[in-house]
């Protein structure tokens, strides 16, 4: 066994650490993690984990979410600079301004936001439960931030609500084009096209299935199609191929990479376990306020 992997396993055991990894992490990290999943699954795992040390292989908003949901645990983010440009498209001040314009609306913030934005939101959601969360808010007007594509998808599926959107988007998913989809249909007429709701509207309208990364994995397994085209970050291919050796998977167009998700390598994970870096620290008030919005979120599937 590789020396680095041996050391990671040894430290993990010694410190009773729980290593969580998002579905977009590199294969070596996915293979060594205790659990690999989508944002909602990882939020729930960190909240319910008996372990007092959580090492979060993903991006900052995910590790912050884990900290807020389990404030007495030590949460580490091995790649200190792994941010999410989508989360950076909105600030807490922007949300407060939106609230002034739409005083009767509830604010639903996608989990891909800073802890400060969550603290001024009524409820959070992930791509896995966004439709259900918005369906259940008590107001007709709903401010949905920051992803306009996911927001559009939610509005289409919850026509009874008046959904107010923010103009944010994910640079990875927005690279998939309608031409990619039309080409894929021509090239693989029997394939099923499964995409993430952060893709642009014209893709969401024409795909066969739209879901979070965990939902995409579930659908790919259940589908009768032997060829599946995926419209999301290429890291998901690892688990798809591992779980479905009888099927073929291709990225829509060319594969697209989230650079921040690739900042965690075995080196970062080892250093994180060794030195207990980089710890997530948030102000108590932010934890309390954001905690309310996140606790509401985890109640919905
Ligand atoms: P999931 O919650 O579907 O895994 O998505 C997270 C994400 O960052 C998508 O870009
Ligand atoms: Fe953020 Fe997009 Fe990367 Fe997801 S894929 S972490 S939304 S930049």
pTM to 2 decimal places: 0.97
User: Is 87-169+289-297's fold the same as 173-251's?
Assistant: yes
pLDDT value at 223 more than 90: yes
User: pLDDT band at 301, cuts 50/70/90?
Assistant: confident
What's the CA-to-centroid distance between 213 and ligand 1, angstroms? 6
Pocket of ligand 2 (CB under 6 A): 59, 84-86, 112, 170, 172, 198, 233, 258, 260-261
Q: In the CATH scheme, what is the homologous superfamily, with its name and number, of domain 173-251?
A: NadA-like (3.40.50.10800)
For the stretch 147-202, pLDDT in tens is: 999 999 999 999 999 999 999 999 999 999 999 999 999 999 999 999 999 999 99
User: Whole-angstrom Cα distance, residue 138 to residue 141?
Assistant: 9
Give the pLDDT score at 1.
76
Q: What is the mean pLDDT of residues 128-135?
A: 98
In the chain, what are the domain boundaries?
A: 3-82+261-284, 87-169+289-297, 173-251
Q: Which ligand is nearest to the CA of 83?
A: 2
H helices present in the chain, as ranges: 3-14, 27-32, 39-48, 60-69, 92-101, 115-119, 130-136, 148-157, 178-187, 201-206, 213-222, 236-243, 266-275, 284-297
User: Considering the chain, what is the average pLDDT of its residues?
Assistant: 98
Q: Which CATH architecture has domain 87-169+289-297?
A: 3-Layer(aba) Sandwich (3.40)
Q: Give the fold, CATH level 3, of 3-82+261-284.
A: Rossmann fold (3.40.50)
Pocket mutation for ligand 1, best pick of 30, 87, 127, 259 (most atoms within 8 Å of C-beta): 127
């Amino acid at each position: 066994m590789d020396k680095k992997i041996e050391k990671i396993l040894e430290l993990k055991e010694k410190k009773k650490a729980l290593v969580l990894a998002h579905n977009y992490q590199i294969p070596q990290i996915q293979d060594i993690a205790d659990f690999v999943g989508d944002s909602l699954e990882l939020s729930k795992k960190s909240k319910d984990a008996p372990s007092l040390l959580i090492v979060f292989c993903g991006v900052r908003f995910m590790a912050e979410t884990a900290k807020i949901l389990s404030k007495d645990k030590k949460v580490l983010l091995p790649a200190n600079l792994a941010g999410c440009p989508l989360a950076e498209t909105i600030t807490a001040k922007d949300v407060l301004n939106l609230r002034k314009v739409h005083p009767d609306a509830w604010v639903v913030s996608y989990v891909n936001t800073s802890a400060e934005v969550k603290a001024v939101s009524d409820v959070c959601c992930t791509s896995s439960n966004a439709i259900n969360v918005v369906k259940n808010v008590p107001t007709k007007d709903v401010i949905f931030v920051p992803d306009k594509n996911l927001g559009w998808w939610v509005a289409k599926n919850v026509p009874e609500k008046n959904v107010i959107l923010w103009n944010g988007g994910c640079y990875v998913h927005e690279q998939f084009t309608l031409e990619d989809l039309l080409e894929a249909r021509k090239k693989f007429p029997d394939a099923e096209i499964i995409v993430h709701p952060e893709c642009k509207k014209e893709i969401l309208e024409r795909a066969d299935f739209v879901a979070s990364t965990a939902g995409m994995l579930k659908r790919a397994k259940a589908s009768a199609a032997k060829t599946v085209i995926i419209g999301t970050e290429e890291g998901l291919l690892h688990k798809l191929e591992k779980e479905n050796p009888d099927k073929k998977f291709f990225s829509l167009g060319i594969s697209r990479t989230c650079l921040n998700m690739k900042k965690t390598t075995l080196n970062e994970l080892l250093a994180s376990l060794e030195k207990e870096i980089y710890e997530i620290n948030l102000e108590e008030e932010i934890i309390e306020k954001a905690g309310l919005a996140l606790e509401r979120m985890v109640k919905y599937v």
